[in-house]
């Protein structure tokens, strides 16, 4: 009974929480919610006694896949999030074949190496990954309408509840898996892997463990990709004559954030104050041309 | 309790043919051949370092043999992994009390039931397979009862006495419903009463139709249990025969005691 009351109180607190926070605190709350799942899903992998350093990188695979599918393939955001999750799952499953040949410290180092390779690929290949600054101009999550009720996911409170639902479902899945015979085998592999193997306890569970880890991870990967969408909306840059531009319009509640024109450091003429991109805005820096009147809006830089 | 089962006339359940296992320059097993008849208790003995446990490890899939073949039910299983060997019905136990110490007795035996349940992730999430899980738990409890441990099903394995821990180790293996059990030094560290109880358990297991191959140093237990004994020395087959023949074989005495002239 005490347990039920505790759960009800927790649920009530989680529902009320965003309404007592400021806008920026709500933003933090969204990421905090995602990170609960990052940490919790890590537990499932460590049940087998192995520590992976590629955990968060796999999350990145889902996020990048989701972003690219939205931007380049024109997927609707919800579909792109699910597809990003699937891509991360398949990618991690493939990666699990070489990594599961190792254990202990070797697995740790192997997973670190795999993660580092992926990270460097994202940084070094500006096309399509956008280099160190990541992918920009990703289409945002459309407002959805359910029975006359409009849900705008630009609002952090709405996004928080979406994240909360995804996290709650994912945690429930983790709980179910851990308490199942599959979870028992994970524990068994952790404590006495040879004994578990001697009664047939490896043929399926370890690949399962990997897949399971990935699938659960994918839940928040998709979610994280959503957050990425949200923070990288294709808001137009507003440039001023002094070379400072602002983005992130008033819609999200922020004031204009002034920063140096992102194109200035990539052109030869330091006198150019404001730049506009030619074509569709996706070309390299060489395509930038001076904006003679230096007035906005100027499209934000592409990758 | 022991009767002559060596002339069952059936094809050997396990055949080891020309088995060689080298670790770099060290030859742990050298051209070893022997066979185990179904429904028997077969002993594998020899002085320390004779290669008994290495033979066990090769047969059970822990190592891949350098040369030679292991045939189980007429099929070549050399080079298969332990889970693959287990799936064919050949399950091993380990030296010492190798158990899931943090698990309850029931959970230990449930792990042994894994092959028969084949749980899936989707089943775990959706809650399907609950019926199979119940059946497996019933089987696990039945196995515990067979070893007289049913009343302690929810105690932790770490809390058991040494003798009970060895019995639980056998229960985990038996829960997998093997046709053949490989027992690695099951009597180590047991007092005479525990040894006697364990011998009774092995006869009961054998009577259920499970063939047993065991490595053991306790000669009293080996002589009292086995239908046939293979003796190894320096990685090679020294002699093979019935316990009464092995007991008086001068080569065996020499291998253990350093020569017949030293035996008082």
Kindly state the tokens that stand for B44.
């594998």
Give the separation between CA A255 and CA A278, rounded to whole angstroms.
28
Residue that is written with structure tokens 């395509």 in the block: A287
The nearest CA of chain A is from the CA of B186 a distance in Å of 15
Q: Which is more confident, B125 or A210?
A: B125
Per-residue pLDDT, B264: 46
Work out the percent of chain A whose per-residue pLDDT is above 90: 17
Q: Which of A119-128, A274-283, B99-108 has the lowest mean pLDDT?
A: A274-283
Per-residue pLDDT, B37: 92
Reported confidence tier of residue A18, pLDDT bands at 50, 70, 90: very high
A195/B119 touch (CB, cutoff 8 Å), yes or no: no
Q: Which of A183, A191, A215 sits opposite B102 (nearest CB)?
A: A191
B176/A199 touch (CB, cutoff 8 Å), yes or no: yes
Per-residue pLDDT, B38: 92
Residues 6+ apart with CB under 8 A from B49: B234
Work out the percent of chain B whose per-residue pLDDT is above 90: 30
Per-residue pLDDT, A202: 58
Q: Which is more confident, A140 or B87?
A: B87
Give the separation between CA A80 and CA A71, rounded to whole angstroms.
9
User: Looking at the predicted structure, is the pLDDT value of residue A290 above 50?
Assistant: no
Task: Quote the pTM value.
Answer: 0.69
**Quick one: DSSP state of residue B102?**
T
- Among residues B74, B72, B59, which one has the least CA distance to residue B19? B59
Per-residue pLDDT, B77: 92
Q: Which of B111, B119, B123 sits opposite A196 (nearest CB)?
A: B111
Per-residue pLDDT, B217: 85
User: Looking at the predicted structure, is the pLDDT value of residue A20 above 50?
Assistant: yes
- Please measure the distance between the N-terminal and C-terminal CA atoms of chain A and give it in whole angstroms: 55
B20 — contact with chain A (CB < 8 Å)? no
| pLDDT one-digit tens code per residue, A35-68 | 888 888 888 778 878 888 888 888 889 889 988 9
Per-residue pLDDT, A110: 92
Per-residue pLDDT, B144: 92
| pLDDT one-digit tens code per residue, B130-153 | 788 888 889 999 999 988 888 888
The nearest CA of chain B is from the CA of A174 a distance in Å of 8
CB atoms within 10 A of CB A1: 5
- Which residues on A lie below 8 Å from B102 (Cβ)? 187, 191
User: Looking at the predicted structure, is the pLDDT value of residue A132 above 80?
Assistant: yes
Q: Which of B84, B94, B117 sits opposite A195 (nearest CB)?
A: B94
B119 — contact with chain A (CB < 8 Å)? yes
A55 in Cβ contact with A42 (< 8 Å): yes
Give the three-class secondary structure for A221.
helix
The mean pLDDT of chain A is 72
Per-residue pLDDT, B261: 54
Q: Which of A183, A185, A199 sits opposite B86 (nearest CB)?
A: A199
Average pLDDT over residues B66-86: 90
Per-residue pLDDT, B198: 87
Reported confidence tier of residue A283, pLDDT bands at 50, 70, 90: very low
User: Looking at the predicted structure, is the pLDDT value of residue A83 above 70?
Assistant: yes
Reported confidence tier of residue A274, pLDDT bands at 50, 70, 90: very low
- Please measure the distance between the N-terminal and C-terminal CA atoms of chain B and give it in whole angstroms: 31
In chain A, % helix, strand, coil (3-state, to 5) comes to 60, 10, 30
Per-residue pLDDT, A299: 43
Per-residue pLDDT, A248: 42
Vertex A111, ends A178 and A196: CA angle to 5°?
40
Task: Tell which B residues from 71 to 110 touch A, by Cβ distance under 8 Å.
Answer: 81-84, 86-87, 91-94, 98-103, 107, 110
B188 in Cβ contact with B220 (< 8 Å): no
Q: Which is more confident, A181 or A277?
A: A181
User: Looking at the predicted structure, is the pLDDT value of residue B203 above 70?
Assistant: yes
B86/A180 touch (CB, cutoff 8 Å), yes or no: no
- Among residues A247, A252, A65, A228, which one has the least CA distance to residue A141? A228
Per-residue pLDDT, A253: 34
| pLDDT one-digit tens code per residue, A226-260 | 444 444 333 444 455 555 554 443 333 333 444 45
- Which residues on B lie below 8 Å from A173 (Cβ)? 125
Q: Which of A173, A185, A197 sits opposite B82 (nearest CB)?
A: A197
């Amino acid at each position: 009974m005490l347990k039920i009351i505790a759960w009800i109180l927790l649920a009530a607190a989680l529902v009320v929480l965003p309404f007592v926070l400021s806008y920026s605190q709500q933003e933090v709350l969204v990421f905090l919610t995602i990170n609960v799942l990052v940490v919790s899903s890590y537990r499932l992998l460590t049940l087998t006694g192995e520590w992976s350093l590629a955990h968060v990188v796999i999350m990145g695979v889902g996020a990048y896949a989701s972003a690219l599918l939205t931007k380049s393939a024109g997927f609707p955001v919800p579909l792109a999030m699910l597809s990003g999750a699937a891509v991360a799952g398949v990618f991690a499953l493939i990666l699990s074949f070489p990594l599961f040949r190792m254990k202990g410290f070797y697995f740790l180092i192997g997973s670190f190496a795999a993660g580092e390779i992926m990270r460097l690929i994202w940084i070094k290949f500006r096309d399509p990954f956008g280099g160190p600054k990541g992918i920009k101009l990703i289409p945002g999550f459309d407002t959805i309408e359910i029975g006359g009720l409009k849900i705008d996911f630009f609002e952090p409170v709405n996004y928080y509840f979406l994240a909360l639902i995804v996290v709650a479902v994912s945690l429930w899945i983790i709980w179910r898996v851990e308490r199942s015979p599959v979870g028992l085998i994970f524990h068994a592999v952790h404590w006495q892997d040879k004994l578990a193997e001697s009664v047939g306890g490896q043929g399926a569970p370890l690949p399962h463990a990997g897949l399971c880890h990935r699938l659960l991870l994918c839940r928040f990967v998709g979610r994280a990709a959503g957050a990425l969408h949200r923070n990288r909306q294709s808001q137009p840059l507003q440039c001023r004559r002094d070379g400072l531009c602002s983005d992130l319009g008033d819609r999200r509640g922020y004031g204009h954030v002034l920063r140096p024109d992102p194109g200035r450091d990539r052109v030869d003429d330091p006198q150019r104050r404001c730049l506009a991109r030619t074509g569709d805005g996706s070309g390299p820096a060489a395509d930038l041309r001076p904006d003679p009147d230096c007035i906005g809006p100027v499209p934000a830089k592409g990758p | 309790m022991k009767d002559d089962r060596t002339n069952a006339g059936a094809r050997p359940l396990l055949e080891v043919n020309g088995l060689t296992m080298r670790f770099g320059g060290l030859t742990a097993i050298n051209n070893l051949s022997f066979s185990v008849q179904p429904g028997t208790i077969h002993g594998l003995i020899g002085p320390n370092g004779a290669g008994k446990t290495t033979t066990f490890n090769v047969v059970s899939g822990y190592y891949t043999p350098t040369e030679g073949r292991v045939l189980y039910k007429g099929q070549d299983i050399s080079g298969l992994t332990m889970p693959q060997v287990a799936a064919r019905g050949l399950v091993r136990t380990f030296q010492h009390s190798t158990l899931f110490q943090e698990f309850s007795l029931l959970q230990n035996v449930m792990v042994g039931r894994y092959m028969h349940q084949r749980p899936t992730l989707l089943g775990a999430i959706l809650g399907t397979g609950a019926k199979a899980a119940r059946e497996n738990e019933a089987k696990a409890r039945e196995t515990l009862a067979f070893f007289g441990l049913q009343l302690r099903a929810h105690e932790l394995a770490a809390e058991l006495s040494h003798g009970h821990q060895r019995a639980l180790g056998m229960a985990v293996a038996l829960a997998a419903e093997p046709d053949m059990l490989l027992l690695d030094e099951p009597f180590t560290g047991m007092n005479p009463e525990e040894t006697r109880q364990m011998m009774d358990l092995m006869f009961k297991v054998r009577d259920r139709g499970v063939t047993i191959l065991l490595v053991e140093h306790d000669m009293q237990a080996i002589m009292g249990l086995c239908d046939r004994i293979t003796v190894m020395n320096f990685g090679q087959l020294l002699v093979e025969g019935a316990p009464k023949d092995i007991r008086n074989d001068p080569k065996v005495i020499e291998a253990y005691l350093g020569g017949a002239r030293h035996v008082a």
